[in-house]
Amino acid sequence: DTAVSQTPKYLVTQMGNDKSIKCEQNLGHDTMYWYKQDSKKFLKIMFSYNNKELIINETVPNRFSPKSPDKAHLNLHINSLELGDSAVYFCASSPDRGSEQFFGPGTRLTVL
């Protein structure tokens, strides 16, 4: 069983479209995260949710909106996609805030 899963694995779309990436963890963790990895491999945290509540919201455009329907899921919705949004997006979870994190396989988003 995959501990942290993301769908889709690859996403190719046109500028201006709206898309969602889904993340699910079956580890029973309370905290989930979204990260963006750019073309230079730099990993930057975007959001963190603890028990469905937003606890970290880095400076990202408000076109990015996380949604946590329950503590096992944290989805990322992106409106009006731009070329600069092309990156690999990773979801992660941890038992609680500040403890060991486990990452999903990543979603490679390409905006044309």
Q: Which of 28, 83, 84, 100 binds other proteins (CB under 8 A)?
A: 100
How far lies 77's CA from each of 1, 19, 63, in Å? 25, 6, 8
Q: For residues 18 and 58, which CB has a smaller minimum distance to other proteins in the complex?
A: 58
Q: Is 49 in the site for other proteins (CB under 8 A)?
A: no
Partners of 109 in beta bridges: 11, 87
Binding segment toward other proteins, per CB under 8 A, in 17-25, 59-67, 69-77, 98-106? 98-106
Write down the least CB distance from residue 61 to other proteins, Å: 18
Partners of 7 in beta bridges: 22
Write down the least CB distance from residue 112 to other proteins, Å: 20
Which of 59, 44, 49 lies closest to 89, judged by CA?
44
How many Å apart are CA 33 and CA 46, to the nearest integer?
Answer: 7
Q: Is 44 in the site for other proteins (CB under 8 A)?
A: yes
Partners of 56 in beta bridges: 48
Binding site for other proteins (CB under 8 A): 33, 35, 41-45, 48, 56, 58, 88, 90, 97-103, 105-106, 108
